[in-house]
Structures are given as C-alpha cells and as structure tokens.
Chains A and B, each alone.
Chain A
Amino acid sequence: MVLDANDREVIEACQRGDYDAFRLLFETYKDRVYSIALRYSGDEAAAMDIAQETFLKLLSSIQSFRGDSSLETWLYRIVVNRCLDHQRSSRKLMPFIQDFLDAGENQLKKLLRAEVENDVQGIVGKLPADQRIVIVLRYTEGLSYEEIAAILNCSKGTVASRLNRAHSVLERRLSHLRGAWGGGNVD
C-alpha cells in the first residue's frame, strides 16, 4: 500500500478524525515503525510498546502536521523519539543486567556472553544511542545520509561521523564474521 500521491488527502482525513484514514496510515507504516523499534531495542516486547506509543503519538499530534517535512520524515522522527524515550525510561535497569554479566565468569555466563556477542543485533544494541539509531535508519530502512540528517535534525556530516564510529566498533566486535561473510554465509 503506497500513499505517495494521496498523502495530503489521507492526512487531511486523519486531521478530520477519519478512523479509516488512520487505519490506512497504520497499515502503510506499521512494518517500518515496528522494525525500527525492534532493531533499536533488540526486544520484541519493547518494540511492541514503542510501536504502540508511536501510533498513539501520531494520532494525537496529526493535527499539528503542517507538511513542512514529508509524512515519512515526520513519522520517523516520532518513532526515533519514542525509541530514545523508551531507553531513558528503562535505563535504570541496565546496571543490574551489567552487574549480572560482570559478576563472576563461570562457564555458563561465558557461554551466554559468547552467544550474545555472536549476534549482530546484540552487538548493535550495545552501541551508544546516537550511533545505534543511525545504524538502524541506515540498514533497516535503507535511508540516505540526507534523510537521516533530516530526521535527526543534524548535519549530514554528523550522520557520517556517527556511522563511521559505529562501523569501526562493529567491525572490531564482529570481526569473526568477516571470513564467514567472505564465504557468503553469516546466518
């Protein structure tokens, strides 16, 4: 389902409170919103929460949408902000998890750590928020530097810088996959 030519019409219908128009928006963007949330959070339950909050936010603020940016850019901004908000609200739990991982290195924990570290999603999840979000927008959504810059309200150079730093970290931490990728299989 593509909205392109009818975007304005659908948005105006949503602004009038047309339920069916909102359902159309939801169906069009649900996979994108959920994917960003999942790839950013690395957790299905958290992704569900973020996606729900995103669509409720979309619904409650559609009246303020003036078309200064594209609908996609606006929606991406909402989901990005929800991702960052969600991380802030759950950050207090993180030290406990880290404590658990750091406390002792028995064999089971070593195995668990190895499992996590083999998982690309897990490694991406350890990136700082500003680097992680550009990685998700770039590789989950395939957005250009310009599009990411517009969503994050920063310069194209900043996006490039964050991506470079994230690439460096990921190349180092996922170096074991380099050979496998050369052989054509990283699954």
Chain B
Amino acid sequence: MWIEPVLARKLHRVAAPEDLWNRTLMRGADTRVCGLETLSPAEHRDESRCRSLRGRATGAVVVWGMVAAMLVVVLVWGVPSRRDLVISSASAIQIRDWVKANAGLDVPLLADSSNVRLTGARVSHDGVEIACRVGRHDAKLLISKNKSSVQHAALNANSSTISWGMNNRLYTLACATPEDLRIACLLCHSSSERRMALN
C-alpha cells in the first residue's frame, strides 16, 4: 500500500521544544504547585486519590490536613504577598529550575551539600529568596534587583549577614550565627572553594 510509507515519512516523530519543561513547571505553578506530590490538586481530585477519599470522616481529615499545611506554610514563610510565588522543596535541581523559570535567574545551587538543607524559595517583585536550614537554624539567600531591599536580609537583630554584588544584582546571605554563615556558603560553593574565599 503506497500510502503507508508516505505517512511514516510525513508524520515522523519530532523533538519537543526546549522550553517544554519550564513551561510545564510554570503551568504547575499557576495551579499552585508546592512540591511534586501536590502539583495539581484539581487533577488529584479526579484520579485515584479521589477514590480513596471515601466518607465524611476521611473528608474531614483532608480538610484539617489542608488547614494544618496552610498553617505550616504561614509559620515557615510568613504570609506571602498576593503576587509572590512560593515553592517548597528540598531539591536543589528543582529549586534552581523553578527560580530560573519564574525569575529568569540561574542560581547555581549545589545538589549535594550535606550541611545545608534547602527548604524552598520565593519569587516576588523585590527579587528571589532561597530558604534553607543550617543545623537547627533558618538561613536565607536573598537576590535583589536593587539595594533598597538589603535590609530585609536580616533574620533578626542578632543575625549575621554578608552581601555582595554580581551581575547587577545584590546577593545577601542571612544566617542566625557567624558560623552558620560560613556553612551556608556551601549552598553554592564546594567546601574547598569556601575555604579559599573565607581564609
């Protein structure tokens, strides 16, 4: 049949556009993505999870679970402003991709830093805020578009901060203690690089 080779040739597979991944992430963000397992709550409802959520008792658990999750978000992040985008994740690759997609900024976070644990990021009109834990303390890396937002870097009156300019942006690392500050450098630098920079 002559038509078969014509179709095979004309309907061949093509490469997906380069920006498909970023656009998928952004679309996920539009549907309130906060971590992989809750990427699209609306879609969860019509899938298998829906089947497992039987009965009023289960429904009540879900509602209270959502309330608790919202409280955790508010406690950890504060109340986000209306236009802020927030992601909660411990993956350096995910946060890096997400920040790149939503703020157009490539922050070279290291995926294998055992001393610093990423917890999430926020993109607002002021810039980007990457949150992490150093030991038992919170720490933040703030990347602002202008110097007026430097003061937001301090976690509290006793915190330690360090700021530097790079690529027309101001980077501020804010930690609870000076020692945390040294450790938090591992967010983006290997331990050998850190020693060279701080010595």
Contacts and interface: CB of A to CB of B under 8 A. Distances in A.
B159 interface: no
Contact of A19 (B4, B43, B47, B89): B89
Most B Cβ at <10 Å: residue of A63, A124, A139: A139
Given A17-B37, A136-B11, A170-B3, A52 B27 contact: yes
B198 interface: no
B23 A52 contact: yes
A102 B197 CA distance: 72
Interface in A150-187: 167, 170-171, 174, 177-178, 181-182, 186
Interface in B1-30: 1-17, 20-21, 23-24, 27-28
Contact of B24 (A44, A52, A124): A52
A99 B150 CA distance: 60
A83 interface: no
Interface string A44-57: 10001001100111
Name B's interface SS. helix
Contacts of A38: 14
Interface stretch (A3-11, A20-28, A105-113): A20-28
Contact of A56 (B1, B8, B14, B31): B31
Given A17-B36, A61-B43, A170-B3, 19 more contacts: A18-B36, A20-B91, A23-B93, A31-B13, A33-B16, A48-B23, A51-B24, A52-B27, A56-B39, A57-B40, A59-B39, A60-B44, A61-B48, A135-B7, A139-B8, A167-B3, A167-B4, A171-B1, A182-B2
Interface of B: 1-17, 20-21, 23-24, 27-28, 31, 35-37, 39-40, 43-44, 47-49, 89, 91, 93-94
15 contacts: A20-B94, A31-B15, A33-B16, A35-B12, A35-B16, A52-B27, A56-B24, A56-B43, A60-B43, A60-B44, A61-B43, A64-B48, A64-B49, A120-B11, A139-B8
